[in-house]
Amino acid sequence: MEPTTLQAWQERIDALFGAKDRRRGTAGNFMWFLEEVGELSAALRAETLAEQTLEFADVLAWLMSLANGAGVDLDAALREKYGSGCPRCRLVPCNCAVGDKP
Ligand SMILES: [Zn+2]
């Protein structure tokens, strides 16, 4: 059965790759994550939506691997940081100036 929540997907990524990720270590996993970010960058410039979609999945899966290694629940992290709106102005949508970092 396919996962239906972000937390369940993070658990699925751990079930799929957690043992290998732990053997590889954070530094190696982070390098793979950055490689996938580079592939997403290239896909956004020149590839089809279908190809871009796969690269988004790869980046998110590697981000989940890094979070698993660090013991971070991404669903809880998003709720904590963005659950009440913009972390700076508290509005939805954000009303901060375009140049401000949220
Ligand atoms: Zn804001």
Average pLDDT rounded to a whole number, residues 21-31: 97
Q: Average model confidence (pLDDT) for the chain? A: 96
Distances (CA, A) of 49 to 34, 43, 60, 62, 71: 21, 9, 16, 20, 32
Q: Which residues surround ligand 1, an ion (CB under 5 A)?
A: 86, 88-89, 94, 96
Model pLDDT for residues 34-64, shown as the tens digit of each residue: 999 999 999 999 999 999 999 999 999 999 9
Residue 99 CA to ligand 1 centre (angstroms):
11
The pLDDT-based confidence of 102 (bands split at 50, 70, 90) is low
Residue 79 CA to ligand 1 centre (angstroms):
16
